[in-house]
Structure 1
Amino acid sequence: MSPPPTTSTRRARTLLLGGGAALAAGAALVFSNPTPAEFELYAGERLVDLTTREICGDDGLPMLLGLLVQNCPELVHGQRKLLGSLAAANTRRFNAGLFSLYNTDVGGQEVLPWLHLPRYHVTTLAGAGQFLQLEAISRPVERK
């Protein structure tokens, strides 16, 4: 029969197991950090939400255009892939391994002579397979 482990041996095992668990958790976070392609899909959905509120709301479309456009939210939602591509092209990503921070600045493009896309700055935290919008600021469009 072997003698019982000493206190220092138990501590060493505990530290080794704790360190291994922390290393495994860190590796899981690194591998579950969402990719830029996943961010593009997420950003398209968020921009659809933001743009629908701004363009399809009471003060969004001019009255005549509002009468012509039957379902503004559906029209905007149909552009989610384009909005996601636009966001991806105008995003800076800081990848810290365990998480990523995305800073996006989009909008201001003239769609018609009297209609510009809303301008947004959005900061998003990505990690553990999830996205968390930290900040969304709507900025006025400068008219020329």
Structure 2
Amino acid sequence: MISPRRRWPSATTAAAALVLAGSGAALYVTNPSREDYQVFAGETLVKLATREICERQVLPMVLQLWINDCPRLIAEQEQALALMADQFSRRWNLGLASVYVTSVGGQNLLPALRLPRYSVTTLGIAGQFLVLNVRSDAGKLE
């Protein structure tokens, strides 16, 4: 009796499997950590807060006169913003990538001034971050 011939995968199939496995391993190794996201979030929040608070001039006139350099004042808070973002972030670690959702803001800075609220959805993949969605309200000045 003749046994059926064993058929080996083609070279193309084997190469594709190796490339796929290698790509998956590379994505797994370069999946950004929570600490990486904390640094990214701090930088991003400084940019968003500068745009919302300083450039849109939502501060009352008295505070605008008192604060000489609004962008610098916010930039000096980057580490505090990064820690706050870490505290208010949820991470879904998918192995090859991570999805982060950060919701911050909305606190009353003064009785008549509420900070803007931000919700940022970010994809961390291959050592990089890609912001997928940003939502904010403009804050509130009464």
What does 1:1-144 align with in structure 2 at a 5 Å threshold? Answer: 9=8, 11=10, 13-139=11-137, 141=139
Matched position secondary structure for 1:56: helix
Map Cα deviations across residues 41-80 of structure 1 (whole Å, 9 max, x no partner): 0000111011011111243111111011000000000001
Cα deviation for residue 137 of structure 1 reads 0.5
Seq. identity, % = 44
Q: TM-score with structure 2 length normalisation?
A: 0.87
CA distance in structure 1 between the partners assigned to 2:130 and 2:56 by the alignment: 28
Alpha-carbon contact 2:90-2:102 (below 8 Å) kept: yes
CA distance in structure 1 between the partners assigned to 2:99 and 2:9 by the alignment: 40
Q: TM-score with structure 1 length normalisation?
A: 0.86
Cα deviation for residue 22 of structure 1 reads 1.1
Q: List alignment gaps of at least 5 residues for structure 1.
A: 1-7
CA distance in structure 1 between the partners assigned to 2:75 and 2:111 by the alignment: 22
Deviant stretches of 4+, over 4 Å: 140-143
- In 2 relative to 1, CA 26–10 (structure 1 residues): closer, same or farther, beyond 3 Å? closer
Q: List alignment gaps of at least 5 residues for structure 2.
A: 1-6
CA distance in structure 2 between the partners assigned to 1:77 and 1:63 by the alignment: 21
CA distance in structure 1 between the partners assigned to 2:76 and 2:54 by the alignment: 14
**Aligned-pair RMSD on alpha carbons?**
1.8
Hey, what does 1:5 align to over in structure 2? none
Q: How many residues align?
A: 135
Matched position secondary structure for 1:70: coil
